[in-house]
Amino acid sequence: MSTYAADGIGLAQVQAARGLLIHRLALSQGRVYDYRIVAPTEWNFHPDGVLAQGLKSLQADDADGLRQRAEWLINAVDPCVQYRLVLTPEN
C-alpha cells in the first residue's frame, strides 16, 4: 500500500542576495506534476526592472565612460548573468 501527501500547491518566497526568489510546486497523487521558479534575475532584468531603470538614468561625458558605468551597474545588480552591451546613439 502506498501513501502520499495530499494533493495541492506549495508556494515559498524568500529575499535572496539578488532579490526575491519564488518556488511553486503542484502535487497530484504524491507526485510533483508542475514546478516553477521565478529567480531574482527575472525581476532585475525585466524591461521595466531595476536594471533597465538604472541604465536609463546613467550619464557620462563619453561612450567609454558610459560603457564602464553600465558594466558596473549590470555587474552590481547580478554578476552571474552573461550579457552583451551595445551602446546606440540617441536620435
DSSP letters, the chain, are: ----PPSEEEEEEEEETTEEEEEEEEEETTEEEEEEEE-HHHHHTSTTSHHHHHHHH---SSHHHHHHHHHHHHHHH-TT-----------
pLDDT tens, residue by residue, 40-58: 999 899 999 999 999 999 9
pTM value? 0.70
3 pLDDT band, cuts 50/70/90, is low
